[in-house]
C-alpha cells in the first residue's frame, strides 16, 4: 500500500522573534540593530512543516488571523493549489510586501511538510541537478571599520569561498578606498558590491569604473530597485565583465518577467522568503531558464540550499552574515559549507532542519 495522498492540513501557527545583531549595522540606505524572524508551522498527518521569512511581526499576525483559515482542511500535498488560494484571498490586501512574505513562509512550510510526509529530503523531491551549490560570503557592512571589513571578507576567502560581497553607498567618496581595502584582504577572490539602491545612475556608472580597477565583478542594486530605466542605463555603460544584479524585491512572477524581458539585469536574484516561497522561487527559476539568465538566491541560506541544488539556472546562494548567525542558533540541523559549497543533508526529510522553538522563546515578540 502506497503513501496517503489525501492528508488534510490540520493546523497552522506563526511566531515572531526579534534577534539583536552583534553590533549596529548599516548598508547604503538602511541601518538596523536587530532582525525579525517569522516562523510558520503547518501540521498534517502527525507531522509539522517549518517555513520562515525575515520580515515584520505583522506577518505572523496576518498568518494567524487570515491565512491559517485559508489553509485548514486543504490537501497538504497540493502546494500549488494552496499557493493560488492564499494569493487569491489576499487580493484586496495587496499581493506584494508583507502579504507575499506571509505566503512565502507558509509555502515553505507546506513544501517541508510534503517532503516529510513522503519521507524525502526536499532536494530529492524537487529533483536535484547538482549535489551542492556554491556560496558567497556576504556582509561587509558600511558600519564596519576597515579592519573589521577586511577580517570578515578574508575569513570567508580562507574558508574556500570563491566570492565575497560588501556593502557600499553610505559614503560614496569613501567607497573606492573601502573596495580597495577589501581587495587587499581577499587576494584573487571575486569581489561583489551591493549599493542597496543608494546611487543615482550617473554616479553609479562613475563608481563602477573605479570599482573595476579593484576587480569588482558584481554590482548589486546600483540604483533604487524600482528605477528599471536607471538600472538598464547602468548595465549598458559599466565596464565589460561586471554583472548588474537585482531582484530581491521581486514578489510575484510578473516582477521577474519584467526584470528579465526589459533587459534590466544581467544576473537575477530571487528570495524565497519574499517571492512566494518554494513555489514562487521555482517560477522565477523557470523564467530564468527560458531566458538563459543566471540566478542567485538572496539571504536565508538554510532555505535556499535545496533550491540551489534543484534549480538549473542557479549559480550560487548568499551566505549572509546576520542570517547565518540566526539560523545556526535556532535551526537544529543547520549546515555549513565545505570548500565554498553547501550541500543538503540527504539523511533528513524536508528542508533538513527543525526549528528550536524552546531556544527561541525568550526572543518572542
The count of other CB atoms within 10 Å of the CB of residue 361 is: 10
pLDDT at 298 over 60: yes
pTM of the model: 0.96
Q: Is 16 left (phi over 0), alpha (psi -120 to 50) or beta?
A: beta
Using DSSP, how many helices (H) and how many strands (E) does the chain show? Answer: 14, 14
Quick check: helix, strand or coil at residue 331? Answer: strand
β-strand partners of 318: 136
- Average pLDDT for residues 33-48, to the nearest whole number? 98
Mark out the alpha helices in the chain (DSSP H runs). 57-62, 68-71, 79-89, 98-118, 122-126, 146-158, 175-186, 201-212, 228-237, 253-261, 277-291, 301-310, 321-330, 357-360
**Are the CB atoms for 240 and 208 separated by under 8 Å?**
no
pLDDT at 6 over 90: no
Q: Which of 218, 219, 155, 210 is nearest to 187 (CA)?
A: 155
pLDDT at 65 over 60: yes
pLDDT, residue 95, reads 87
Percentage of the chain lying above the pLDDT 90 cut:
97
Q: Which of 304, 242, 287, 364 is nearest to 111 (CA)?
A: 304
What average pLDDT does the chain have?
97
Give 70-123 as a 3 state SS string: HHCCCECCCHHHHHHHHHHHCHHHCCCCHHHHHHHHHHHHHHHHHHHHHCCEHH
pLDDT, residue 29, reads 98
Among all residues, which ones are annotated catalytic? 167, 298
pLDDT at 5 over 70: no
d(CA 125, CA 304): 14
Amino acid at each position: 500500500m502506497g503513501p496517503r495522498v489525501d492528508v488534510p492540513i490540520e493546523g497552522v501557527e506563526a511566531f515572531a522573534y526579534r534577534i539583536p545583531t552583534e553590533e549596529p549595522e548599516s548598508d547604503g540606505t538602511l541601518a538596523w540593530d536587530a532582525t525579525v524572524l517569522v516562523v510558520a508551522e503547518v501540521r498534517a498527518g502527525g507531522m509539522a512543516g517549518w517555513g520562515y521569512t525575515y520580515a515584520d511581526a505583522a506577518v505572523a499576525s496576518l498568518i494567524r488571523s487570515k491565512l491559517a483559515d485559508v489553509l485548514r482542511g486543504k490537501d497538504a500535498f497540493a502546494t500549488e493549489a494552496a499557493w493560488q488560494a492564499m494569493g487569491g484571498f489576499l487580493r484586496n490586501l495587496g499581493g506584494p510586501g508583507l502579504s507575499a512574505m506571509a505566503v512565502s513562509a507558509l509555502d515553505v512550510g507546506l513544501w517541508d511538510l510534503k517532503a516529510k510526509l513522503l519521507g524525502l529530503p526536499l532536494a530529492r523531491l524537487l529533483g536535484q541537478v547538482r549535489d551542492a551549490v556554491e556560496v558567497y560570503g556576504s556582509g561587509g557592512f558600511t558600519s564596519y571599520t576597515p579592519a573589521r571589513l577586511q577580517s570578515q571578507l578574508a575569513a570567508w576567502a580562507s574558508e574556500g569561498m570563491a566570492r565575497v560581497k560588501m556593502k557600499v553607498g553610505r559614503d560614496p567618496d569613501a567607497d573606492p578606498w573601502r573596495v580597495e581595502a577589501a581587495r587587499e584582504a581577499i587576494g584573487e577572490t571575486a569581489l561583489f558590491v551591493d549599493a542597496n539602491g543608494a546611487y543615482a545612475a550617473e554616479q553609479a556608472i562613475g563608481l563602477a569604473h573605479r570599482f573595476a580597477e579593484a576587480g569588482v565583478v558584481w554590482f548589486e542594486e546600483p540604483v533604487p530597485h524600482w528605477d528599471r530605466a536607471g538600472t538598464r542605463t547602468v548595465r549598458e555603460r559599466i565596464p565589460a565583465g561586471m554583472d548588474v544584479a537585482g531582484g530581491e524585491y521581486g514578489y510575484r512572477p510578473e516582477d521577474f518577467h519584467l526584470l528579465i524581458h526589459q533587459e534590466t539585469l544581467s544576473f537575477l536574484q530571487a528570495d524565497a522568503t519574499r517571492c512566494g516561497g518554494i513555489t514562487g522561487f521555482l517560477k522565477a527559476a523557470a523564467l530564468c531558464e527560458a531566458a538563459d539568465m543566471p540566478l542567485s538566491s538572496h539571504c536565508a541560506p538554510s532555505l535556499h540550499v535545496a533550491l540551489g541544488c534543484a534549480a538549473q539556472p542557479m549559480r550560487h546562494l548568499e551566505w549572509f552574515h546576520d542570517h547565518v548567525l540566526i539560523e545556526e542558533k535556532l535551526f537544529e540541523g543547520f549546515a555549513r559549507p565545505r570548500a565554498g559549497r553547501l550541500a543538503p543533508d540527504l539523511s533528513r526529510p524536508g528542508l533538513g532542519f527543525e526549528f528550536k522553538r524552546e531556544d527561541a522563546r525568550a526572543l518572542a515578540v
